[in-house]
């Protein structure tokens, strides 16, 4: 019976890597498998390298990396299309945001269309797909709350940004001026509220439990709180009160034809 040496193990591992086996656990599985075959079938003092070359040939049809490809295929076949759609929608949205911003600077007519498509693709395709992919790996209810609240907050944030970019709160489309502004404000406050009171606490609790993620979690949480604080500053509650008072005044005092339009109350 042949005794495998440390040099033999290094030789096999190096050869597996050279032949395209990159997944570490697959390397270790194959290493152990090959070592057992050699130990059981090669006589003491036998030609290790020659026997190894013969053994490894029986593992594949054309090349050894078929095993790596097959492993990856089986691991990712369920998520492959979804992940591809996620990456494509995310990349297209990012390109759309940049093109839309450039277009706005250059005062091109296509600006609104570009921004609308980009925001919609980001909110309705990219973010839900990210959530679905993340949900496949969740281990507890707390993870579910964290990922769901984070995604919802981001969706609301981008919806508000879309309305701002396209000046929707003041466009008086179907809801009426005050009403559309109120919808925007409610969405904006809901976004900040979900991020502040659900997402950040659940993220903080999860991260603080593991010593290796503690510092990163604290730093990220501080950055998030600071960002949300700055965003909250953009909410002009004073003008909201003015708008509500104006709306009440219009309804009670002035006849319908003399109603005064209030100003936008969220900057």
Partner 1 sequence: MTYSPELLKGTLKTIILKLLADNRKMYGYEITQKVKELTQDKIQITEGALYPTLHALEAEKLVTTQSEFIGKRVRKYYSLSVSGKAKAREKVREFSDFLQTMLSLLDIKTKSV
Q: How far is the CB of 82 from partner 1 (least distance, A)?
A: 15
Residues in 49-78 that interact with partner 1 by CB under 8 A: 58-61, 66-67, 70-71, 73-75
2-10, 103-111, 182-190, 229-237 -> range binding partner 1 (CB under 8 A):
2-10
The tokens for 113 are 């269309």
Q: How far is the CB of 129 from partner 1 (least distance, A)?
A: 19
Q: Which is nearer to partner 1, 26 or 116 (CB)?
A: 26
Distance CA 194, CA 146 (A): 10
Q: How far is the CB of 33 from partner 1 (least distance, A)?
A: 5
Q: Which is nearer to partner 1, 10 or 261 (CB)?
A: 10
Q: Which is nearer to partner 1, 35 or 240 (CB)?
A: 35
Q: How far is the CB of 196 from partner 1 (least distance, A)?
A: 34
Q: How far is the CB of 135 from partner 1 (least distance, A)?
A: 14
Q: Which is nearer to partner 1, 67 or 152 (CB)?
A: 67
C-alpha distances in Å from residue 61, one per residue of 26, 36, 37, 68: 18, 21, 19, 13
Q: How far is the CB of 52 from partner 1 (least distance, A)?
A: 14
Q: By CB under 8 A, is residue 191 in contact with partner 1?
A: no
Q: How far is the CB of 213 from partner 1 (least distance, A)?
A: 22
The tokens for 146 are 């964290």
Total of chain residues touching partner 1, rule CB under 8 A: 26
Site track for partner 1 across 6-45, x = CB under 8 A: x--x-------------x-xx-xxxxxx-xxx--------
Distance CA 173, CA 114 (A): 20
The tokens for 218 are 């604290």
Q: How far is the CB of 14 from partner 1 (least distance, A)?
A: 13
**Are the C-beta atoms of residues 194 and 163 closer than 8 Å to each other?**
no
Site track for partner 1 across 198-237, x = CB under 8 A: ----------------------------------------
Distance CA 31, CA 39 (A): 12
Q: Which is nearer to partner 1, 4 or 198 (CB)?
A: 4
**Are the C-beta atoms of residues 16 and 31 closer than 8 Å to each other?**
yes
Distance CA 62, CA 68 (A): 13
> What residue ranges bind partner 1 (CB under 8 A)?
4, 6, 9, 23, 25-26, 28-33, 35-37, 58-61, 66-67, 70-71, 73-75
């Amino acid at each position: 019976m042949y005794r495998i040496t440390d040099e033999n193990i290094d030789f096999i591992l190096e050869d597996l890597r050279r032949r395209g086996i990159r997944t570490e656990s697959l390397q270790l599985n194959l290493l152990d498998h090959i070592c057992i075959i050699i130990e059981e079938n090669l006589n003491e003092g036998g030609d290790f390298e020659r026997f190894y070359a013969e053994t490894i040939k029986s593992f594949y049809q054309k090349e050894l990396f078929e095993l790596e490809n097959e492993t990856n295929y089986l691991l990712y076949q369920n998520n492959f299309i979804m992940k591809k759609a996620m990456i494509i929608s995310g990349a297209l949205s990012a390109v759309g945001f940049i093109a839309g911003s450039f277009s706005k600077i250059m005062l091109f007519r296509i600006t609104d269309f570009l921004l609308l498509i980009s925001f919609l693709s980001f909110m309705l395709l990219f973010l839900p797909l990210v959530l679905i992919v993340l949900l496949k790996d969740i281990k507890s209810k707390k993870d579910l709350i964290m990922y769901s609240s984070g995604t919802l907050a981001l969706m609301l944030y981008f919806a508000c940004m879309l309305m701002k970019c396209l000046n929707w709160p003041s466009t008086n489309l179907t809801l009426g001026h005050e009403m559309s502004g109120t919808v925007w404000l409610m969405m904006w406050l809901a976004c900040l509220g979900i991020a502040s009171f659900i997402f950040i606490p659940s993220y903080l609790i999860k991260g603080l439990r593991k010593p290796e993620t503690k510092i990163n979690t604290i730093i990220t949480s501080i950055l998030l709180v600071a960002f949300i604080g700055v965003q909250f500053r953009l909410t002009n509650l004073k003008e909201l009160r003015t708008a509500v008072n104006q709306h009440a005044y219009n309804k009670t005092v002035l006849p319908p034809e003399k109603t005064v339009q209030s100003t936008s109350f969220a900057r």
